[in-house]
Amino acid sequence: MKSWSYRSKDGRPIGVRYAGINDAKILHDGFCDVVSEGQWLPTFISSATVPDWANWIQRASVGSEAILVAEVDSHYAGHLTLQPEEWMASRHVAKLGVIVIKDFRNLGVGRSLMTSAEDVALVKEYEKIVLSTFSDNDLALSLYQSLGYRAIGFRVRHFKMERGYVDEILMEKIIQAV
C-alpha cells in the first residue's frame, strides 16, 4: 500500500501510511488520550474497544473508508479517518476526522495526514471532504484554512463541554472538479 513521507517543522521525518490490524491498540490508545484531554473532541469517554478498532481497520481496508496513521521518528503521532456520508446521493463526500497526540502537535503531523488524505480521497473517488471543529480550536482552524477548506456553517452552542458551551464550525473542500 502507498505511504507518504514529509518533514516536521523541526526536521524529523513524518511518515503517513494506511492503518493495519496491528495498529488497533495504538489508535485506540491515541484516541483515548485525546478524549481524556477534554478539549478537542465532543465526547467524554471512548466507548470503542481495541477489537472495535480492529474491525473498523479491516472494513476500511476493503471499502470506501480509510484510516491513516502518522508516525514521527517511527513513533505514533496521530491518525485520520475518512468515511462516506450516510446518504446514497452524497457518497461522493467524505467526512474527515483527525487527531494528533499532544507530544506531536504543531510539528506538521496534521498537515501531513490531511495532505495524504486528499490523495486517498481521490483514489476512493470522493469529490469533496467535509469536517467540523470547535470554534475555539485556533490551531486546527488555521491548518484547515491554509489547506483550502472554507467555513460553510456555524452551529451556536452545539457542544456542552466542561468549559461551557462551544460552537461548531463546519468546513468543506472540493477536491475534484465536477
Rounded to the nearest 10°, the torsion over CA 67, 73, 76, 81 is -20
Burial class (CB in 10 A: 0-12, 13-18, 19+), 29: middle
- pLDDT, one tens digit per residue, over 20-77 is 999 999 999 999 999 999 888 888 888 899 999 999 999 998 889 999 999 999 999 9
Strands 75-84, 66-72: pairing kind:
antiparallel
Domains and CATH numbers, the chain: 3-128 (3.40.630.30)
Q: What percent of the chain has pLDDT over 90?
A: 88
Task: Note the pTM of the prediction, 2 decimals.
Answer: 0.94
Is 57 exposed, middle or buried (CB count within 10 Å of its CB: 0-12, 13-18, 19+)? buried
